[in-house]
């Protein structure tokens, strides 16, 4: 024996109000939507038929109810039974059950949202010359149907008898605001207590109109407006470029209308993630809503729209570079982070960054392209600390270096050969610098041997080699230089000592026996203080001075301090203080 499901309407309404819809306010949207669909359906067979929708709030009805009238197609008695009283049944699907593109509704649940604010829904409807049908649905799931006095005009009137705790939702100001919010762009005139709330569409407006729309509705004056069009989804609209930096991690929401009815003020998923510098306002006929009608349904069409809108934004950027480089600079000042993120995967964006985004270099700020043209190899430091430490020294040695330490810069520099295989990129290895420094003449070198031997003894236990070279700037007494490969090998060895055998075996495969060059403390023979230290002839004092030069060079280069380094810094400082402050306490 087969049975039919029973539906507990209260349970369904509870589900809708607490889990599907964000707020009861959507009931106005659902009422308008049904009225619009009914007019659209009537126009299919009667193109010149009147097309209006009007709300009457309790202020006009006088009995506490809210009424909405439409001049739509209306329903016959059979349809009333079939459509109004069956949850999930919609008259807006084709024979195969697919929602029809010309209608807003598709799920067959919208009218139920009225139960969030009403105890009773009354529908009076006339389809063509069929008898006028009177249907009343109650929140407890019962309904009544009867035919009665003929309605003067074809169409439908829906009357809501408010729930005691929901009368606020039916008040004139609320209804007007909500009708305007959701329906201001609807193609048919909508009135609330006589006041027209539909307005001329911003779609296809002039640039000043579009700018004014952003100011009024989104609350900012955009940097620029980009017109958008995706015929495949019947999408038209604009992207507003934000005038201030946006957080790339925050998901950006867009104002989306579906068939001119507002879907959401913060819909996600319309643009690719990288396009966080833009906010869209669009209307689409082809995109689908989720059942709550508060978000876009993420299907393959939305994916294709996302891609095409991404292309349109990218196209705008590239053309801005050609048309108005000055403005592009301004744009990059605001949104460089987003553009750089994009350039990590996108060659065209990389070209844009290459040509226009000025990077910090030790020869002044300039884009990578200019840097290449002037200096050939794109040499860079991968961290800000490394750059700060080496920029002046490298400049004095005629070596141009880019600071690749800011977010994404080093990765972008490394990606440059993807644009042109002939581009040479080189990460500056600090130890390469020593080869650029001047060596001392043999006589000086010989004379300094005893000093260097003493200096070396004091730094031996720290695994540091001491050398003396001549370099600029003269004011810099010492430089701590680490060979990157050597650092890696040292860290590898240290890690091997603390991990278990299996891991140690794996790490051993990366070890290179020959690479054990130690970090260097390069003392600057041009620096007067270094010369005075070298001339001290007092082993203990030389030890203290070299240790403190070592410590200072470490700090200057923002190198990590090991416990032994901190202890040495402490000791050398106190030791030097002892020498500087002679005498005994009596």
Binding residues: 30, 34, 70, 90-91, 156
Shortest separation between residue 141's beta carbon and ligand ATP, angstroms: 15
- Cα three-residue angle 365-366-371, rounded to 5 degrees: 125
Nearest to 379 by CA among 357, 401, 361: 401
Query: Cα dist. 492→7, 152, 486, 496, 539 in Å?
Result: 68, 90, 10, 6, 35
Shortest separation between residue 290's beta carbon and ligand ATP, angstroms: 11
Count Cβ atoms below 10 Å from residue 435 Cβ, excluding itself: 9
Q: How many residues bind ligand ATP (CB under 6 A)?
A: 23
Shortest separation between residue 1's beta carbon and ligand ATP, angstroms: 30
Residue closer to ligand ATP (CB basis): 110 or 430: 110
Local structure of 161: helix, strand or coil? strand
Shortest separation between residue 293's beta carbon and ligand ATP, angstroms: 7
Strand partners, 443: none
Question: Which residue in the block uniquely carries the two structure tokens 């890696």?
Answer: 488
Residue closer to ligand ATP (CB basis): 118 or 352: 118
For residue 168, give the DSSP letter: G
Give the contacts of 234 (CB within 8 A, at least 6 positions apart).
Answer: 284, 285, 286
Give the residue ranges of the annotated binding site for ATP.
30, 34, 70, 90-91, 156
Residue closer to ligand ATP (CB basis): 44 or 426: 44
End-to-end CA distance of the chain: 113
Shortest separation between residue 213's beta carbon and ligand ATP, angstroms: 28
Question: What is the residue-wise DSSP string for 337-402?
Answer: HHHHHHHTT-HHHHHHHHHH-PBPBBTBSB-HHHHHHHHSSEEEESSHHHHHHHHHHHHHTT---E
Q: With binding defined as CB under 6 A, does residue 55 bind ligand ATP?
A: no
β-strand pairing of 235-241 with 224-230:
antiparallel
519 and 540 in contact (C-beta within 8 Å)? no
Query: Mask: binding to ligand ATP, 64-103, rule CB under 6 A, as x and -?
Result: ------x-xxxx-------xx-----xxx-----------
Residue closer to ligand ATP (CB basis): 83 or 212: 83
Shortest separation between residue 185's beta carbon and ligand ATP, angstroms: 18
Largest CA distance in the chain: 122
Residue closer to ligand ATP (CB basis): 175 or 278: 175
Which residues from 104-143 bind ligand ATP, rule CB under 6 A?
A: 105-111
Shortest separation between residue 14's beta carbon and ligand ATP, angstroms: 17
Residue closer to ligand ATP (CB basis): 113 or 184: 113
Shortest separation between residue 270's beta carbon and ligand ATP, angstroms: 21
CA distance 93 to 77: 19
479 and 393 in contact (C-beta within 8 Å)? yes
Count Cβ atoms below 10 Å from residue 291 Cβ, excluding itself: 14
Residue closer to ligand ATP (CB basis): 120 or 224: 120
Which residues from 136-195 bind ligand ATP, rule CB under 6 A?
A: 156
Measured from each CB, the residue nearest to ligand ATP is: 105
Query: Mask: binding to ligand ATP, 11-40, rule CB under 6 A, as x and -?
Result: -------------------x--xxx--x--
Residue closer to ligand ATP (CB basis): 267 or 542: 267
Give just the sign of the alpha carbon dihedral 95, 96, 97, 98. negative
Residue closer to ligand ATP (CB basis): 16 or 423: 16
Question: Which residue in the block uniquely carries the two structure tokens 């300094």?
Answer: 448
Shortest separation between residue 27's beta carbon and ligand ATP, angstroms: 10
Residues that bind ligand ATP (CB under 6 A): 30, 33-35, 38, 70, 72-75, 83-84, 90-92, 105-111, 156
């Amino acid at each position: 024996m087969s049975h039919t499901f029973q539906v507990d309407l209260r349970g369904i309404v509870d589900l809708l109000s607490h889990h599907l819809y964000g707020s009861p306010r959507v009931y106005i949207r659902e009422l308008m939507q049904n009225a619009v669909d009914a007019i659209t359906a009537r126009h299919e067979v009667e193109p010149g038929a009147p097309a209006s929708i009007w709300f009457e709030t309790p202020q006009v009805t006088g009995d506490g109810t809210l009424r909405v009238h439409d001049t739509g197609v209306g329903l016959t008695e059979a349809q009333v039974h079939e459509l109004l009283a069956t949850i999930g049944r919609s008259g807006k699907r084709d024979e195969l059950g697919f929602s029809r593109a010309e209608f807003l509704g598709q799920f067959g649940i919208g009218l139920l949202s009225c139960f969030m604010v009403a105890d009773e829904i009354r529908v009076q409807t006339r389809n063509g010359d069929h008898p006028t049908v009177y249907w009343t649905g109650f929140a407890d799931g019962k309904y009544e149907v009867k035919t009665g006095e003929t309605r003067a005009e074809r169409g439908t009137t829906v009357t809501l008898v408010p729930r005691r705790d929901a009368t606020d939702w039916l008040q004139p100001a609320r209804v007007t605001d909500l009708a305007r919010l959701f329906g201001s762009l609807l193609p048919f005139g909508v009135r609330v207590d006589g006041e027209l709330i539909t307005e001329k569409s911003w779609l296809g407006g002039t640039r000043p109109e579009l700018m004014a729309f952003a100011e009024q509705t989104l609350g900012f004056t955009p940097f620029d407006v980009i017109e958008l069009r995706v015929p495949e989804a019947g999408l038209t609209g604009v992207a507003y470029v934000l005038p201030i930096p946006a957080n790339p991690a925050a998901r950006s929401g867009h104002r989306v209308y579906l068939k001119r009815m507002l879907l959401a003020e913060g819909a996600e998923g319309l643009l690719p993630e990288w396009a966080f510098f833009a906010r869209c306002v669009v209307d689409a006929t082809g995109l689908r809503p989720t059942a709550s009608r508060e978000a876009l349904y993420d299907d393959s069409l939305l994916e294709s729209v996302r891609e095409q809108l991404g292309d349109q934004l990218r196209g705008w950027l590239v053309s801005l570079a050609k048309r108005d480089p000055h403005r592009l600079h301004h744009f990059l000042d605001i949104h460089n982070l987003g553009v750089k993120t994009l350039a990590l995967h996108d060659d065209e964006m990389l070209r844009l960054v290459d040509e226009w985004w000025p990077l910090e270099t030790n020869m002044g700020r300039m884009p990578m392209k200019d840097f290449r043209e002037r200096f050939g190899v794109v040499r860079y430091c991968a961290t800000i600390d490394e750059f700060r430490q080496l920029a002046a020294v490298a400049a004095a040695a005629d070596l141009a270096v880019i600071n690749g330490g800011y977010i994404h810069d080093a990765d972008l520099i490394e990606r440059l050969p993807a644009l042109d295989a002939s581009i040479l990129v080189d990460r500056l290895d600090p130890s390469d610098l020593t080869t650029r420094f001047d060596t001392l003449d043999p006589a000086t070198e010989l004379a300094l041997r005893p000093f260097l031997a003493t200096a070396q003894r004091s730094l031996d236990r720290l695994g540091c080699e001491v050398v003396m070279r001549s370099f600029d700037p003269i004011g810099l007494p010492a430089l701590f230089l680490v060979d990157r490969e050597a650092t890696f090998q040292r860290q590898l060895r240290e890690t091997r000592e603390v991990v278990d055998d299996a891991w140690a075996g794996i790490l051993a495969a990366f070890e290179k026996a020959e690479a054990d060059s130690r970090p260097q403390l390069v003392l600057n023979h041009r620096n007067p203080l270094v010369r005075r230290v070298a001339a001290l002839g007092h082993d203990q004092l030389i030890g203290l001075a070299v240790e403190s030069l070592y410590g200072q060079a470490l700090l200057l280069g923002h190198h990590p301090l090991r416990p032994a380094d901190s202890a040495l810094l402490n000791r050398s400082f106190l030791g030097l203080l002892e020498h500087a402050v002679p005498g005994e306490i009596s």
